[in-house]
Amino acid sequence: MQFIRDSVAPTATVYGVVLNDSASVRALGDLEAAPYKGAPRAPVLYIKPRGTRVGDGAAVRLPSGATEVEVGATIGLVMGRAAARLAPADALDHVAGIVLAADLSLPHASYYRPAIREKCFDGALPVADVRPLCDLAGLELGVEIDGAVVDGWSLSTLLRDPARLLADVTAFMTLRAGDVLLVGVRYDAPRAGIGSRVRVSASGLGTLAFTIEGDAR
């Protein structure tokens, strides 16, 4: 029996991964060239701190100087119990639920250095309510900006599927109960400018809507 709450806990750590789908790896270009000098071996992870999390209907204000934001529709795996050194075969047993999320990033073409300002500004992770775990293999994600469909992708294109991703991440770090692992975002995801209304969706999981606003604080 796993405890499941309807929203991501304030104390949870949210981890995400880039370059987890083949189209994104192709789009990035030559992985052997500087500064990367080789394809990544471990999952390329980042952290979304607590101030990034906002709910459905949020007005997300961009940091000073930013005019647009990449909208990475993704799914988060919400851990039901502490997980370390999982095997892919039973990794999903540790997942209590899933959550539709929009990982917002200020555009950054290079993945060489951690993207802190770009990915960690207040409001940079709209998340929906936690839902029970379902079959993720064919889940379709979509992004609409101002009513127009601008992106769609399927979790079937993940290079590391959720079970493999959990195994490779927990090989070196423990995920705690309540922590969230986002399964991937697209390289060069569609951009929303100030004033945009954004809606991300996942088949069977509903939608998550928010607006992008300029720096008015």
Partner 1 sequence: MKHGRIAFQGAIQAVTQAADGRVRLADGRLLGKNEVEWLAPIEAGTVFALGLNYADHAKELAFKAPDAPLVFLKGTNGIVGHRAFTPRPQDATYMHYECELAVVIGEQGYRVPKERAYDIVRGYTVANDYAIRDYLENWYRPNLRVKNRDGCTPLGPWLVDRADVPDPMNLTLTTRVNGTVTQQGTTADMIFDIPTLIAYLSSFMTLYPGDVILTGTPEGLADVKAGDVVETGIEGIGTLVNTIVQAKE
> Rule CB under 8 A: which residues touch partner 1?
13, 15, 18-19, 35-38, 40-42, 44-47, 49-52, 63-64, 84, 111-117, 120-122, 172-176, 179, 217
Phi and psi of 122, rounded to 5°? -55, 130
Cα(60)–Cα(42) distance, rounded to whole angstroms? 32
Please choose, from the candidates 185, 169, 43, 202, the residue with its C-alpha nearest in 3D space to the C-alpha of residue 124.
185
Question: Cβ(142)–Cβ(151) under 8 Å?
Answer: yes
Sign of CA dihedral 45, 49, 136, 100: negative
Output the CA–CA distances (angstroms, integers) from residue 207 to 14, 30, 33, 76, in the order listed: 20, 35, 39, 14
CB 106 within 8 A of CB 63: yes
Nearest to 205 by CA among 153, 142, 144, 131: 131
CB-based contact 144:150 (threshold 8 Å): yes
Q: 9, exposed or middle or buried, with CB in 10 Å at 0-12, 13-18, 19+?
A: middle
